[in-house]
Amino acid sequence: MERRKKTMSSPTSSPLSRIIRLWQPHYGRLIIGLILAELAVCAGLIMMGQAGAHITAAAIGVTAGSLLLQIAGTSQIILRYADRYSTHDAMFRALADLRVWFYRRLARGAAAGLGFQRSGDLLSRLVGDIQTLDNLYLRILIPLASAVLTLPLTAYVWLQASIPAGIAVTILFAAAAFFLPFLATRQAKTLGPAILKAESELRIAALDLTTGLREARAFGAEDILAGRVTDRQNTLIKHQHALHFRMAIMQACSRLLGQLGIAILLCTLAQIVFKSSAPVLAVTALFVALLAFENVTGLSKAGLLTGQVTHAAERIMAVADQTHADAASPAELPIGRELELREVSFQWTAQSPYILKQANVTLRHGEKIALIAPSGSGKSSLAALLLKVAQPNSGKILLGGTDIATLSDDDVRSQIAWLSQASHLFDDTVRGNLLLGRTDLSDDALWDALERAHIASTIRDLPEGLDTWIGESGSKLSGGQGRRIALARVLLSNAPILILDEPATGLDADTERSFLETLNELDDQRSIILIAHRLTGVERLDRIWTLQNGQIISQAS
């Protein structure tokens, strides 16, 4: 199982092949859907062939049995329904699992580089790119497999009617089914990525407009933000128009090839240019060609979708490649809770400057320290390193004397809790925001955390107490109340080390001082790292760390 997971996420494979391997739990359903689709194609070809033979027989006064025609017609209806149901059900299940996999990979790196990505772009990948991948199975693989099956079957029927005409029609069919989609695929290499990029940029602009509308109105910038949305929309429409124009040309060419094939078979039936000694076979070949060419008309469109599918897979796998692998054989969680940075150097990318350069510092158990540095100096990077969502370029981070690189992510995060400067409150109840899916906490534990965060009395005064809905991003609460609920959520973790990353950002001066005074009352069994760009004077600290030229300087408070 472990080896299979590694193979699935191996960055050496192509993105599309990695996506297909992620669908492995659904291979059975996907294969059944493919088989049903092929059977439906066979039933349709038999039905059309038998219909042509019966019409010819009736025209020349010959009686022909209709049992095979009835069976083929009934089977085609049943199989077509089963095919559509099975293929779409399999694809929906595969995409649902892919979304869960993507979200989990995203969550593993959320506080690191992925957390600094634009939310609109991540939304585009989670929704748009994954949805685009249904084209891979439903509109590319299934029709292509049907065309591969149809070619030898129809070629045999056409050659029976007339060898020269059969060769010509077979060549036309192969051109419509394979050559035109190949040309479309080459053209789609630029248009597909351009469309996905334009869709992503439009989502980002729309998200900026909706989330920043209050500030935009305050500064009279609504028209500017709306103009950005319109510009992105026009760009997307331009690329979509170019794609649809090429689709129309390709489908026109495909239909033209089909009409030429039909014309050749009509000439064969009329004994013009091409000769056939058996009219029944000529009509049968004509009816089969009508269905066969109709079935492959959409393949030229599928070729143009290939560019979008390929680029969507690349964008999704780019997220997977940014996350790190957990320790294969994690060490046991140590008893000690002392944190130590030993010769740690770190930079986010090879092009960005070093935030830490061979830094050394120690946080003893129960200590309360503040890390002070100007905004933009990379203070929050320390939280990413301690939470194992980023890894140092060199050096070690020790917890109780054990390198956290050898510990499992879950073990590390059970010991270190994090309150960020933008802690999110979900569109849920107070209870739901505190629990975040946990089922092991009683109401007494929730109230205790709220008491320690100095927000319990406010929650008791709400109409439904813990079950009060607080709105999107805690919109029904004040900024200070929302921050205290986030603090209570952190306290529920019982982690012995708390990282408070600019916890009072956005609060007014009085609320900020009150919130920081609350932190002073936390028990001495917790170590606290308060990350800030300045101190207010109410903090009770053991030491102060300053970040200077990649070094962490520690001094007594």
pLDDT value at position 6? 43
**What's the predicted TM-score (pTM) here?**
0.68
Clarify whether residues 298 and 377 are in a common domain.
no
What span, in angstroms and rounded, lies between the C-alpha atoms of 210 and 232?
Answer: 15
In a domain, 191, yes or no: yes
Give the model confidence (pLDDT) of 314-343 as tens digits: 877 876 666 555 556 788 888 888 999 999
DSSP state of 527: E
CB contact at 8 A, 524 and 536: no
**What is the predicted pLDDT for the residue at 298?**
82
**pLDDT at residue 112 in the model:** 42
- pLDDT attached to residue 9: 46
Residue 531 is inside which H or E element, if any? strand 527-532
Does residue 333 lie within any of the structural domains?
Answer: no
Tell me if 381 sits within 8 A of 348, measured CB to CB: yes
Distance CA 184, CA 182 (A): 5
Q: Are residues 273 and 143 in the same domain?
A: yes
Say which residue the tokens 């300045």 belong to.
534
Confirm whether 6 is domain-assigned.
no
> Which CATH number does the domain housing residue 516 bear?
3.40.50.300
Residues 55 and 27 in one domain: yes
- Are residues 344 and 289 part of one domain? no
151 and 298 both lie in a single domain: yes
Name the one residue in this structure whose structure tokens are 């590694």.
6
- Residues 432 and 507 occupy one common structural domain: yes
Domain shared by 289 and 367, yes or no: no
pLDDT tens string 228-252: 889 999 999 998 898 888 888 888 9
390: helix, strand or coil = coil
Tell me, yes or no, whether 172 lies in a domain: yes
Q: Which of these three, 270, 292, 322, is where a domain ends?
A: 322
pLDDT < 70 positions in the chain: 1-12, 60-65, 107-126, 319-328, 376, 422, 504-508, 511-512, 523, 536-538, 557
Residue 314 lies in a domain: yes
CATH number at residue 55: 1.20.1560.10
**29 lies in the same domain as 174:** yes
CB-based contact 341:361 (threshold 8 Å)? yes
Check whether residue 522 and residue 425 sit in a common domain.
yes
Residue 1 forms part of a structural domain: no
CA 190, CA 290: separation in Å to the nearest integer? 34
Domain span at 45: 15-322
| 318 & 352 share domain | no
Of 533, 525, 456, 461, give the one whose Cα is nearest residue 487.
Answer: 456
- Flag whether 521 is in a domain: yes
Q: Could you give the residue ranges of the DSSP H alpha helices within 453-478?
A: 456-460
What pLDDT score does 155 carry?
94
Q: Is 162 helix (H, G, I), strand (E, B) or coil?
A: coil
Count up the domains in the chain and report the number: 2
Same domain, 57 and 101: yes
- Whether 389 maps to a domain, the answer reads yes
228 and 295 inside one domain: yes
H or E element: which one contains 384?
helix 380-386
The token pair at 149 is: 């099956």
